[in-house]
Amino acid sequence: MRFSRTLIPTLKETPAEAEVVSHQLMLRAGYIRKLAAGIYTWLPLGWRVLRKVERIVRQEMDRAGAQEILMPGVQPAELWRESGRWDFYGKELLRFKDRHDHEFCLAPTHEEVVTDLIRREVRSYRDLPLNLYQIQTKFRDEIRPRFGVMRAREFLMKDAYSFDVDEAASIESYETMRRAYRAIFDRLGLKYSMVEADSGAIGGSYSHEFMVLAATGEDDIVSCAQCDYAANLEKAAAAAPAGEPATPSRALEAVNTPGTHTVQQVAEFLEVQPNQVAKTLIYLADGQPVAAVVRGDRELNEVKLKNLVGAAEVFLADPETIQKVTGGPLGFSGPVGLGIPVFVDQELYLEPALVAGANALDTHLVGLNLGRDVPQAVRADLRNAAPGDPCPRCGGELTFARGIEVGHIFRLGTKYSQALGATFLDAEGATQTIIMGCYGIGVSRIVAAAIEQGHDDNGMILPLAIAPFSVAVLPMAASGPAAETAQRLYGELLAAGVDAIIDDRDLRPGVKFKDGDLIGIPLRLVVGEKGLKNGQVEIKHRAGGEVEMVAVDQAVARLAELVAQGGGLAL
C-alpha cells in the first residue's frame, strides 16, 4: 500500500478524551474514529490489525474442529423470554420495536439464537458433538463505555458454543477450546495469563479467563510464584486461617462511640487495630437483605457472597434499607441480634473479642465473640485474597497483577438447552438434554490490549503477527535513486509475500520516521542515497531499536526471514 493514497490521519496532539495509552495511540495513529459513545469506525490501519487478529482466531478455531457460521445481530424478544433473560439482562440489552410493534434486541451474545438453531437441527446423538462459532458484532449498552474499543458498546467478538451428549464429552470440548485459546494467544504474541474465573452456578474449575497483562487492566489477577495457580481476584480463594476458633475472653458490652462511622474512626476511638473490627455490610441479594461480615482491614468479595447466597445479583443496601433492617443507621451495623441471614468470613473466628456496630446510633459492641454471640451465622470464605496470603493450592507466595480480559471459556451445563428444550435421542432412544459450553474472545478488545502492552513514547510496538504492515519502506527522497530503489524493493517485498507499505509522501524523513513509529510497523527499511553509494540499505527494528545495514540485494530476503520468524503474514 502507498502511504500517500491511504487514509492514515495521524494526530500530533494527544486527544483529551482518551484516558489510556491504547485509546490515545489508536486515535493518534489514525486507527479508529469515534461516532458516538463506545461506537467506533475502524480506519484502514486499525481494520488491518483487526483482520489479522480475526484471522489467527479463525485459523485456530477451525483447526480445533469448530465450524464457522454467522448469526443475526437483531434478535426477537420471544427467544430471550424463553431463556428468562429478557427481564434479567437489564439495561445492557438494547431493545426496540419493529413497525409491527414486535419487540427485538441488539445481540449482546448468542446463547439463545444458537440454542434455538440446535434444538431445531439436532435429533440424535449421532449429530453430536458440535462446536459452532462466529466472528460477529455485538452490542452491549455498557453503563460506562470507556478506553476506546477496550470497553465499547459496539464491538467485535468471536463466540463459540459447544454441544455434547454428556458431561465427559462436554469437558473434552472445553479442554479442546482451552488448547485452542492457548494457541491463539501464543500466536498473537501477547504476554497473557490463563486464570480461574468465577463460574457462578456451575461451580468447579470450569471457567477460565485469558488475561493480557497490563497495568491499565480492569481485572485483578492473583497468581502463585511457586506453582501454576492463577485466578481472577473475584474467584481466588483466601486460604483458610490456621488455628482453632478463639474462645471468648470477655463479656459482650455496648459502648458509646460518638461520630465513629468508619472502621478507622472506631478503631482509633476504641484503641484497637482495624483487624479487630468486624466490618458488617448489609446487602440486598436479589432484593432480600443479608449481612456480610469481614475483618475491618479486608475487602468483601461480592462474587463470593453472591455465590454463597445463591443470588443472581447483590447490591449494597441504601441507608433507608439499613435502618429498616438493622434498626440502626449506616456506619453502625453489626451482626448481633439481626433478623436476617448473616455470613461471616472464616478468619474472624480466630479473634476472641471483636468490635462491631451495635445497630444503634453512636454505639458499638466490644468483646464480640462470633461463635458465642452470633451462633446462627454462616462461616465462609468471603474476603478478597490479599498480599501476604499463602497460595490456596501450595502455600507459596501470591503475587498480584492487573489484566485485561480478552477471552473467557465457560461450561454452561444445561442452562440454555433446558430452558429452550434442546434435546437429542440417545442410543437407547431416550430423550436427553444437550450439554453446552460457550467460549468468547474480545477480538476488537485484543487490539487495544496489544497496544497497552506494546508501546513507548513514540507510539505503538506491535507484534509482527498483528501489525497493520510488517515492513515500512522509507525512501529518504521523493525522487532520484533512493526513491527508485525504494520502489523496486517495495515491489519485491510484495512479490515475496511480505506485507509492506511504502511511505511515498513528499515529506521530510523526520516526519516519516515519526509516523512510522507511531503506527506500529515492526520493521523499517530506510533507503537513502548515502547508503546506496556503498550498496547498502538500513533495516531498523521498531521494538528493540536495533539497526542492521544490509546489501541492497539482500534486503528483501533478510526482511522476509525476519517476518517469517515473527509469525507475520500478509493479509
CB of 110 to ligand ATP, least distance (A): 11
Cβ proximity to ligand ATP, 64 vs 500, nearer residue: 64
The CB-nearest residue to ligand ATP is: 442
Directed axis angle between helix 44-63 and helix 167-188, to 10°? 140
CB of 68 to ligand ATP, least distance (A): 17
Question: Containing H/E element for 83?
Answer: helix 77-83
* Interface with ligand ATP (CB under 6 A): 109, 140, 142, 151-152, 155, 157, 405-408, 440, 442, 444-445
Which residues are registered as beta bridge partners of 401? 221
CB of 447 to ligand ATP, least distance (A): 10
Directed axis angle between helix 443-453 and helix 44-63, to 10°? 110
Please tell me the distance from the alpha carbon of residue 104 to that of residue 86, in angstroms, as a whole number.
10
Would you state the cell numbers that stand for residue 469, as one nine-digit string? 504492515
Please tell me the distance from the alpha carbon of residue 192 to that of residue 454, in angstroms, as a whole number.
13
Cβ proximity to ligand ATP, 36 vs 495, nearer residue: 36
Centroid of chain to Cα 121? 33
Cβ proximity to ligand ATP, 152 vs 537, nearer residue: 152
Strand order across the beta sheet in which 95-97 lies: 74-76, 103-106, 95-97
Cβ proximity to ligand ATP, 367 vs 407, nearer residue: 407
Strand order across the beta sheet in which 500-502 lies: 500-502, 471-475, 523-527, 536-541, 547-551
CB of 249 to ligand ATP, least distance (A): 44
Q: How many residues does the chain have?
A: 571
Strand order across the beta sheet in which 378-380 lies: 314-316, 278-285, 288-295, 342-345, 378-380
CB of 449 to ligand ATP, least distance (A): 8
Cβ proximity to ligand ATP, 408 vs 542, nearer residue: 408
Cβ proximity to ligand ATP, 155 vs 283, nearer residue: 155
Cβ proximity to ligand ATP, 279 vs 408, nearer residue: 408
Question: What is the SS3 assignment for 209?
Answer: strand
Cβ proximity to ligand ATP, 218 vs 426, nearer residue: 218
Long-range contacts of 296-302 (CB under 8 A, 24+ apart): 296/263, 296/267, 297/263, 297/273, 298/345, 298/347, 298/383, 298/384, 298/386, 299/383, 299/384, 299/386, 300/345, 300/382, 300/383, 300/384, 301/233, 301/234, 301/382, 301/383, 301/384
Cβ proximity to ligand ATP, 207 vs 369, nearer residue: 207
